[in-house]
Structure 1
Amino acid sequence: MKIAVMGSGGVGGYFGGLLARAKEDVTFIARGAHLEAIQKNGLQVKSVVGDFHIHPKATHDPGAVGPVELVLFSVKAYDTEAAGTAIRPMIGRETVVLCLLNGVDNEEKLEAILGEQHVMAGVVHILSTISAPGVISQTAGPRTIKLGEKDGRITPRVERILGVLKGCGIRAEISTQIQVDLWEKFLFICAQGGVTALGRLTVGEILACPETAAFYRGVMEEVAAVGRAKGVALPADAVERALAFARGLQPGMRSSLAHDLSQGNRLEVETLAGSVVRYGRETGVPTPYNFAIYACLKPHHDKAPAARPA
C-alpha cells in the first residue's frame, strides 16, 4: 500500500516505522532537524517491545509524494487545519486519511478541507515522542489503534487498512462506534495529560495520593458530563473504565502533554482542557477542574515558539 505519514513524531514515527519495516511503500513528511536526520541516517525507533532502524523515504513536501492510498495523519492537533490543507496534493479519488490525533473535532476540520469521504477516525493509545532528531522513543502505553467509519459500517476499505496494519504487527481493530471511542479516549487523556503536566507527576504518583486522584477523577467526570450533554452515548461506567485503564499503566507513565511542557513546546491545551471548558459553556455543564488545567497551562502554550522542528 502506498502510504504517507503526515506528522512523523511519536505516533507517526512509531506506527509509520512499523509499516516501513514491513516493506509497505511509506513516505514520511517531516521538517527541520528531524527530517534532515531521517534523510541522512534513517529513522531509529526505540521501543519497550524492541528497537529497530530503517532508512525510509522522507520529505518536507507533500506535493512531491503525489496521491497515496492512505495518509496516517498524526500532527499535533493545533496544526490540523494547516496540515490538512498541505496534504491536498496527496489526496486521490480513493485516498483515506486516518486521523490519529488527540481531541474530538479533528475529523470535522479535515472533512471541511478534504471532503467527508476521505476522512476516517482513529483512536491511538501509546506514549511515544521524538527523543532526538531522527529518533523515536516509545516508552509506555499499549500501542493500539482503533479505526472505524463514522456511521459504524464495516466497509471494504476499513477492512483493507486493518489488514495492512495488522500485517506489520500493529495491534489494530475495527470499531463500530468510533465516536464513542474518541470520547472515551478524550475523557482519559484530558485527565492523564492535564494532571501529569500540571502536577509534574507520573500516573502512579497521581493515583497514590487521594487528593490528586480525586482531582484526576473529577476531570474525567466533567468530560463525561459534557459528552453526554452533547449527545454522545458514553457508557455509564466510562469513568470507572478509564480509571481501571490508568491503574493498569506503567506507574512511571506521564503524557505527551507533560513531555511538551518540559521541552518548552506548544501544548495541545486548547484541544483538551480548553475544548472541555468551551463545550461546558455551550451545554451549561460546570467544568472547574478542566478550567484550572486550562488556565494554568495556557500561558505556557502562548509563550512557546510558534513553530518547532517536528
Structure 2
Amino acid sequence: MRVAVVGAGAIGAYVGACLHRAGADVSLIARGENLAALRADGVRVFSPRGDFQARPHATDDPEEIGPVDHVLLGLKAYSYATCGPLVNPLLKEDTSIIPAQNGIPWWYFHGLTGPHEGQRIEAVDPGGAVSRVLPPRRAIGCVVYPATELAAPGVVRHMEGTRFAIGEPDGSESARCREFSDAMIAGGLKCPVESDVRRDIWIKLMGNTAFNPISALTGATLAGICRHDGVRGLVTNMMNETLEVAAALGCHPEIEVERRIAGAERTGEHKTSTLQDLEKGKPLELAAMLAAVVELADLAGVEAPTLRTVGSLGDLLERRTAEPTPAGVG
C-alpha cells in the first residue's frame, strides 16, 4: 500500500511514521526546515506509549512520488483550495483522499441522502474551489482524536490518544477504508471504520466549536476554560447549540455535554491548535470549526445565538490577525 502525506506537520508526520513502521510505503511532503530534518533524521516521535523513530521518504516534490493508493491531508482546511499542485501528481483513478482536519469537511453532504444531498457549504468550499481540487467522490471521512505537536522540525511530541475514526460519506463498508484501517492498526493506532462517521465529526466538533475560538480569544488553556464557572457555562451553551444543529440535520451523537467538558478538563493545561496557531502568527481554522456550523444552523433553521455571537468575535479576530502590522508596532 502506497501512502502520501501532504503536509507532514504534527499529525501528518505522526501518522506517516506509524504507517511506515508497519511496513507501508510512505512518502512525506514537507518543506523548509521540517523537510531538511525529515531527510536527515526521519520522524522522531516522543510518546508516553513509547518513543520511536521512522525514516519514510521525504520530499517537497509530489512528481517524485507519483500516484499512490491513499493521500492523507495534513494541511489546514484553509489550504485545501490551493493544494492542487501538491495533490494532483499523486492521484490515479481510485486514489482516496483522507483529510485529517478539524471541523466540518467540504464533502459533508456528499453521499448523504435527504433534502440537502450535494449541498455545498460556502464556509469550507467557497465557490466550489475545494471540490474542484479535491473531488468529494475521493474523500474518506477522518476524525482525528490524538493530541500531538511539532516540538521541533522532524520531532513529534505525542501527548495522548491514538484513535482515528474513518468512514465512507455514504456509510458503506468499502475495501479502501478497510485497507487503510488495517494499515493504521498495524502501525499501533486505533482506526475503526464507522458506518456513520458524521457522528464522530459532531462529537469532535463539540469541543472545537467551543474551546478553539474561546482559547484564541482569551489565551486560556482547556483546563483554564473549564474551571471558570462563567466560561464553562458559555461552553455548555455552545455545545448544546452544536448538538441542536446536528440533530436538525439528522445526526444524533450520543454523548452528554458535561461528560465532553469533563474530558477536556482532564487534558489539563493544553493549548488548542487555534491558540497555538495564533501565537505563531499563522492563519486560524475557525471557518471549518465555527463559521460552517453557523452556516449549517441557517440551513437547518436553528437559532444558535451563542454560536453566532462567538462566531462574530472569532471572525473579527481572524480579520485582525490577517491585517498587516502598522509600522512601528510590535
Given residue 217 of structure 1, which amino acid in structure 2 is its aligned partner? T
Confirm whether residue 128 of structure 1 aligns to residue 148 of structure 2.
yes
1:108-147 maps to which residues of 2 (within 5 A)?
Answer: 111-139=131-159, 141-147=160-166
1:65 paired residue number: 65
Retained in 1: the 8 A contact 2:16–2:56? Answer: no
The structure-2 alpha-carbon separation of the partners of 1:235 and 1:113, relative to structure 1 and needing over 3 Å to count, comes to same
Return the alpha-carbon distance in structure 2 between the equivalents of residues 167 and 279 of structure 1.
37
The structure-2 alpha-carbon separation of the partners of 1:212 and 1:114, relative to structure 1 and needing over 3 Å to count, comes to closer
Identical aligned pairs, as a percentage? 28
Return the alpha-carbon distance in structure 1 between the equivalents of residues 104 and 149 of structure 2.
21
1:31 paired residue number: 31
With 288-297 and 254-263 compared, the bigger mean Cα shift is at: 288-297
The structure-2 alpha-carbon separation of the partners of 1:226 and 1:85, relative to structure 1 and needing over 3 Å to count, comes to farther
Confirm whether residue 265 of structure 1 aligns to residue 282 of structure 2.
yes
SS in 1 for 2:27: strand
1:67-86 maps to which residues of 2 (within 5 A)?
Answer: 67-84=67-84, 86=86
Given residue 278 of structure 1, which amino acid in structure 2 is its aligned partner? E
Given residue 184 of structure 1, which amino acid in structure 2 is its aligned partner? I
Q: Deviations over 1:165-201 (max 9, x none)?
A: 1011011111110122212211221112222222222
CA RMSD across the alignment: 2.3
2:45 paired residue number: 45
The one of 251, 254, 257 equivalent to 1:239 is 257
Q: Deviations over 1:112-149 (max 9, x none)?
A: 4343432111111122222222222223x422100011
The structure-2 alpha-carbon separation of the partners of 1:204 and 1:30, relative to structure 1 and needing over 3 Å to count, comes to same
1:139-288 maps to which residues of 2 (within 5 A)?
Answer: 139=159, 141-229=160-248, 231-235=249-253, 237=255, 239-247=257-265, 249-282=266-299, 283=301, 285=303, 286=305, 287-288=307-308
With 129-138 and 156-165 compared, the bigger mean Cα shift is at: 129-138
Retained in 2: the 8 A contact 1:6–1:28? Answer: yes
Confirm whether residue 6 of structure 1 aligns to residue 11 of structure 2.
no
The structure-2 alpha-carbon separation of the partners of 1:192 and 1:245, relative to structure 1 and needing over 3 Å to count, comes to same
Given residue 66 of structure 1, which amino acid in structure 2 is its aligned partner? G
Return the alpha-carbon distance in structure 1 between the equivalents of residues 17 and 70 of structure 2.
15
1:308 paired residue number: none
With 2-11 and 125-134 compared, the bigger mean Cα shift is at: 125-134
Retained in 1: the 8 A contact 2:145–2:161? Answer: yes
Given residue 233 of structure 1, which amino acid in structure 2 is its aligned partner? C
The structure-2 alpha-carbon separation of the partners of 1:66 and 1:246, relative to structure 1 and needing over 3 Å to count, comes to same
The structure-2 alpha-carbon separation of the partners of 1:171 and 1:264, relative to structure 1 and needing over 3 Å to count, comes to same
- How far the C-alpha of 1:4 sits from its partner, in A, is 0.5
SS in 2 for 1:23: coil
The structure-2 alpha-carbon separation of the partners of 1:277 and 1:62, relative to structure 1 and needing over 3 Å to count, comes to same
Q: Deviations over 1:273-303 (max 9, x none)?
A: 2223333445452334432541453135414
- How far the C-alpha of 1:91 sits from its partner, in A, is 1.0
Retained in 1: the 8 A contact 2:83–2:133? Answer: no
Unaligned runs of 5+ in 1: 306-310
- How far the C-alpha of 1:11 sits from its partner, in A, is 0.9
SS in 2 for 1:138: strand
Aligned residue-pair number: 302
- How far the C-alpha of 1:87 sits from its partner, in A, is 0.5
SS in 2 for 1:129: strand
SS in 1 for 2:8: coil
- How far the C-alpha of 1:30 sits from its partner, in A, is 0.8
The structure in which a higher percent of residues are strand is: 1
SS in 2 for 1:150: coil
Retained in 1: the 8 A contact 2:244–2:302? Answer: no
The structure-2 alpha-carbon separation of the partners of 1:162 and 1:240, relative to structure 1 and needing over 3 Å to count, comes to same
Retained in 2: the 8 A contact 1:270–1:294? Answer: no
Return the alpha-carbon distance in structure 2 between the equivalents of residues 304 and 146 of structure 1.
39
SS in 2 for 1:4: strand
